[in-house]
Structure 1
Amino acid sequence: MPVEGGSSSGSASATRHPKQKRKAHSLSIRRTNSTEDRPQGVQRGDMLEGQDSKLPLPLRSNLLELFGQIEREFENLYIENIELRREIDSLNERLTGDGQTIEGGDPTKGALKTKASHSTSQLSQKLKTTYKASTSKIVSSFKATAGSRAVCQLLKEYVGHRDGIWDLSVTRTQPVVLGTASADHSALLWSIETGKCLLRYAGHAGSVNSIKFHPTEQMAITASGDQTAHIWRYMVQLPAPQPPPDVSAPCDDDPDLSDREEGEVDGEGPCEVPTVRVPTATLKSHQGVVIAADWLVGGRQVVTASWDRAANLYEVETSELVHTLTGHDQELTHCCTHPTQRLVVTSSRDTTFRLWDFRDPSIHSVNVFQGHTDTVTSAVFTVGDNVVSGSDDRTVKVWDLKNMRSPIATIRTDSAVNRISVSANQRIIALPHDNRQVRLFDMSGVRLARLPRSNRMGHRRMVCCTAWNEENQSCNLFTCGFDRQAIGWSINIPALLQEK
């Protein structure tokens, strides 16, 4: 490790001119001035013979002795820095085994970055302080998880799609049903209690990438790979509830679902359900895949996000394009609207997300936030003044709308994060991962639970999306993935655990 300057205690170099220090450094490379390493019979004057110098011999000898002292000091600093680096590597290995790394494990940045004037003892003390703080956080996080009484139980599986499920959503009007959007070009509506398919929308010519329901009417908007978004109406009648299935029954780790017929639900054979094929409105101003869509508060306008790097704002009644929201450098991945205000947040592969403000009709402001190092897969509003963003860089960040210069909490995970959701009442973040796991965190970044996953239950492939349904006290969280199924969960996290 190169060292510029070193300890100032008792060193001869501390009072020398900078030019002398540089010259000393060059001399130490060419020869060793220590008397112990000098060959026998060779005196100091002999070593200086033949050199073109006008300095008197005593002065030259004095300078050479001072240069030797400087060289020995640099040697000591070099050895101490090597030992310090070994200590840093050792601590990083120990923390990596626990699932975290010291922020600043790299000696050139983070919490271990120091000025050249800091002594080795100061470096060592700062390293110990950082290590203790990091390990304390790890241990406390493990204690909260291990000692919790969080209950996460699988209640219902919704099986019937013939390809992976990209997105799901819960209606905001009665009757409350679950909607799923799939790569099999269809969207299905399900009875939450019985798991039966109630209605199929088959109006798209491409993968259905998202589904969202109108806040007050029985309407849905779906975004598709056919470069359009469809608004369509539905009417469903809930069947009589049935006893929950035995989720403890054995099942294959990776079953082949391709043998199921279209519309088959829970192995009961093809189901006869109403099919809607014609939308109420078709929004087709995009030049690429429409990856997401959502309703603005009030339900009179919708926003769509596309791979053409733009988001569009439409009037629902006339299907008229009102605004084109441009500025992202790469494809959009998601869009979300605020539950009570005319705010929109769009996410992109360009590692940023943008906040669009439509509260003042005459002013449409936009703010760009650069908090991630990879694709931002989703950014969602909470009921309060927060935005939560998830990314392929394996982090989730919580932001304050009033001051979004830096996140107020950062969650680090071991897998890429897909479309997240935040519960309105308990403010719990549900993270779906590429590695088939689903984890729950609070808004301060403390892990509350991990949903059970084994050969008998849970997702068998990438989990794409989560959605909360707090109106239902039993089945209050839904997840979907590329194993072609959606799952309903019962999540019960005591308030005492969240306070930890």
Structure 2
Amino acid sequence: MPVEGGSSSGSASATRHPKQKRKAHSLSIRRTNSTEDRPQGVQRGDMLEGQDSKLPLPIRSNLLELFGQIEREFENLYIENIELRREIDSLNERLTGDGQTIEGGDPTKGALKTKASHSTSQLSQKLKTTYKASTSKIVSSFKATAGSRAVCQLLKEYVGHRDGIWDLSVTRTQPVVLGTASADHSALLWSIETGKCLLRYAGHAGSVNSIKFHPTEQMAITASGDQTAHIWRYMVQLPAPQPPPDAPCDDDQDLSDREEGEVDGEGPCEVPTVRVPTATLKSHQGVVIAADWLVGGRQVVTASWDRAANLYEVETSELVHTLTGHDQELTHCCTHPTQRLVVTSSRDTTFRLWDFRDPSIHSVNVFQGHTDTVTSAVFTVGDNVVSGSDDRTVKVWDLKNMRSPIATIRTDSAVNRISVSANQRIIALPHDNRQVRLFDMSGVRLARLPRSNRMGHRRMVCCTAWNEENQSCNLFTCGFDRQAIGWNINITLLLQEK
């Protein structure tokens, strides 16, 4: 099962420079000789006379006086940082009204998390880091949000899973619904407009790591930690746009608070449950991390932690090809929307392009453009592949010449499962640090989705998916905070601002 990887701040003392260590040692001496520890009525001279030291008394007195000055400087710096934090909170409250927030404005996220038990050296290091970083974050946040303030709006939250959501997808047939795959061993189908859960698939015995819908039929394929992929059919009926006021369930109800039986269809808000798949694909020897339909929907491809990808016939569940060559676990697979092409990504820092257009020749190309795990690689409508990685970069490649990327996007956090809009070719990047950013294919940053304590994701964002058939709710995100979110992105305004 995938493992959550949120961003965290390391201890300041863990990476301290040798000079800083010597300084910390001196400061620790100062604390043992501070006035707070002296018995009442004992003067500095009395303390010095009673200690065994080779230093002359005037020199020792001078050292203590210098350490006292250092301590007063740290106290002043601490007071200044408190005032700065208050100013940041004030700016945060003002910007929250516009749907924005300052990235450094949450006191629980910053480096300034001091306690009385911290040593002076640890405190000074944290204070200096925060003092320098906070002001730069304020400036960069204004720049980052200036162009996205009016174009990104949260429309709907889809809450009902009992564990993190790894993947989501939108159906390609009518009725158009949202599907989510979760670590709680289930996949849910949702009404996009009302946010209500329409159906639950509970056939897996492990985490459901991915969900993809058939291009023309009401079928879905889910990949799971139980080492299988399931193909299952669904039938859903969309609820009325405006349910009566006395309806037993409203949009604001949190399904995660229900009892187990209620989600299975035995409670006041009945949710139909599918437990038996149409087909079970079980040739892998490890976690199946992703699956997708090839063009036409007659074959599917699965990617696994056993370092292989498998190609199956849907009608017979027969294994057609085993795609081997990756040195480490696979993380994702994606198929081309119009051609028999497959791209697989791996923890071995590479992604591979598999070509099945010629039945007699199955070629493969290996691309080594990243320095860490490639978390996903996806096709665009044109002749491009976009890859994202834990090395905090996203690269855009041309299928006709993939020796080097045509664009590189550098970010401040690991990138998870990305998506590219078909019409406007905008890349949506989900990050470990709870942010979602939008870029165009040339690497120009277009917007950052708003996030604050009252809106947006509260833990790492795992996946994004575009839904351009719906002009209102046209982007979906999901994360390990157990919720999926529907957004309205004013793409026209974004392109004008670019």
What TM-score, normalized to structure 1? Answer: 0.68
Match of 2:419 in 1: 421
SS of 1:436's equivalent?
A: coil
In the aligned structure 1, how far is the partner of 2:206 from the partner of 2:461? 21
Q: Note the alpha carbon deviations across 1:36-66, whole angstroms, 9 max, x for none.
A: 9999999999999999999999999999999
Shift of 1:25: 40
Match of 1:231 in 2: 231
In the aligned structure 2, how far is the partner of 1:165 from the partner of 1:133? 32
Contact 2:307 2:324 in 1 (8 A): yes
Distance 1:208 1:40, change over 3 A: closer
Distance 1:118 1:39, change over 3 A: closer
Shift of 1:91: 29
SS of 2:261's equivalent?
A: coil
Q: Note the alpha carbon deviations across 1:85-131, whole angstroms, 9 max, x for none.
A: 99999999999999999999999999999999999999999999999
- 423-432 vs 100-109, which deviates more? 100-109
- 12-21 vs 150-159, which deviates more? 12-21
Distance 1:319 1:449, change over 3 A: same
In the aligned structure 2, how far is the partner of 1:13 from the partner of 1:306? 39
Distance 1:29 1:165, change over 3 A: closer
Distance 1:97 1:312, change over 3 A: farther
Shift of 1:332: 0.2
Shift of 1:242: 3.2
Higher alpha-carbon Rg: 1
Distance 1:193 1:42, change over 3 A: closer
In the aligned structure 1, how far is the partner of 2:427 from the partner of 2:412? 16
Match of 2:155 in 1: 155
Q: Note the alpha carbon deviations across 1:56-78, whole angstroms, 9 max, x for none.
A: 99999999999999999999999
Contact 1:386 1:401 in 2 (8 A): yes
SS of 2:276's equivalent?
A: coil
SS of 1:439's equivalent?
A: strand
Q: Note the alpha carbon deviations across 1:130-152, whole angstroms, 9 max, x for none.
A: 99999999999986862466511
Unaligned runs of at least 5 residues, structure 2:
none
Distance 1:194 1:363, change over 3 A: same
Contact 1:156 1:245 in 2 (8 A): no
Shift of 1:271: 2.7
Contact 2:264 2:272 in 1 (8 A): no
Distance 1:462 1:268, change over 3 A: farther
Distance 1:174 1:310, change over 3 A: same
Distance 1:223 1:216, change over 3 A: same
In the aligned structure 1, how far is the partner of 2:15 from the partner of 2:253? 76
Distance 1:147 1:19, change over 3 A: closer
SS of 2:262's equivalent?
A: coil
Shift of 1:273: 1.0
SS of 1:429's equivalent?
A: strand
Q: Note the alpha carbon deviations across 1:135-170, whole angstroms, 9 max, x for none.
A: 999999986862466511111111111111100000
Distance 1:331 1:94, change over 3 A: farther
344, 352, 355: which one aligns with 1:354: 352
Contact 2:220 2:233 in 1 (8 A): yes
Distance 1:156 1:58, change over 3 A: closer
In the aligned structure 2, how far is the partner of 1:207 from the partner of 1:58? 70
Shift of 1:382: 0.3
SS of 1:14's equivalent?
A: helix
Q: Note the alpha carbon deviations across 1:295-331, whole angstroms, 9 max, x for none.
A: 0000000000000000000000000000000000000
SS of 1:142's equivalent?
A: helix
- 125-134 vs 236-245, which deviates more? 125-134
Q: Note the alpha carbon deviations across 1:437-481, whole angstroms, 9 max, x for none.
A: 111111111111111111111111111000000000000000111
What TM-score, normalized to structure 2? Answer: 0.69
In the aligned structure 2, how far is the partner of 1:208 from the partner of 1:9? 30
Contact 1:166 1:482 in 2 (8 A): yes
Contact 2:249 2:269 in 1 (8 A): no
Match of 2:201 in 1: 201
Distance 1:255 1:336, change over 3 A: same
Contact 1:159 1:264 in 2 (8 A): no
In the aligned structure 2, how far is the partner of 1:16 from the partner of 1:482? 33
- Identical amino acids, percent of aligned pairs: 99
Distance 1:106 1:29, change over 3 A: farther
Number of matched pairs: 498
SS of 1:270's equivalent?
A: coil
Contact 1:5 1:116 in 2 (8 A): no
In the aligned structure 1, how far is the partner of 2:260 from the partner of 2:67? 85
Contact 2:302 2:309 in 1 (8 A): yes
- 120-129 vs 388-397, which deviates more? 120-129
Contact 1:357 1:364 in 2 (8 A): yes
Distance 1:287 1:3, change over 3 A: closer
In the aligned structure 2, how far is the partner of 1:135 from the partner of 1:414? 17
Contact 2:100 2:451 in 1 (8 A): no
- 292-301 vs 47-56, which deviates more? 47-56
Shift of 1:261: 3.2
State the superposition RMSD in angstroms. 12.2
Unaligned runs of at least 5 residues, structure 1:
none
451, 457, 468: which one aligns with 2:466: 468
In the aligned structure 2, how far is the partner of 1:155 from the partner of 1:35? 58
Distance 1:48 1:468, change over 3 A: closer
In the aligned structure 2, how far is the partner of 1:164 from the partner of 1:9? 22
Aligned: 1:81 with 2:81: yes
Contact 1:422 1:429 in 2 (8 A): yes
Match of 2:477 in 1: 479
Contact 2:302 2:333 in 1 (8 A): yes
In the aligned structure 2, how far is the partner of 1:120 from the partner of 1:294? 55
SS of 1:267's equivalent?
A: helix
Shift of 1:424: 0.3
Distance 1:397 1:53, change over 3 A: same
SS of 1:272's equivalent?
A: coil
Contact 1:102 1:130 in 2 (8 A): no
SS of 1:131's equivalent?
A: helix
Q: Note the alpha carbon deviations across 1:327-374, whole angstroms, 9 max, x for none.
A: 000000000000000000000000000000000000000000000000
Distance 1:383 1:62, change over 3 A: same
Q: Note the alpha carbon deviations across 1:395-452, whole angstroms, 9 max, x for none.
A: 1111011111111111111110000000001111000011111111111111111111
- 338-347 vs 52-61, which deviates more? 52-61
Shift of 1:241: 1.1
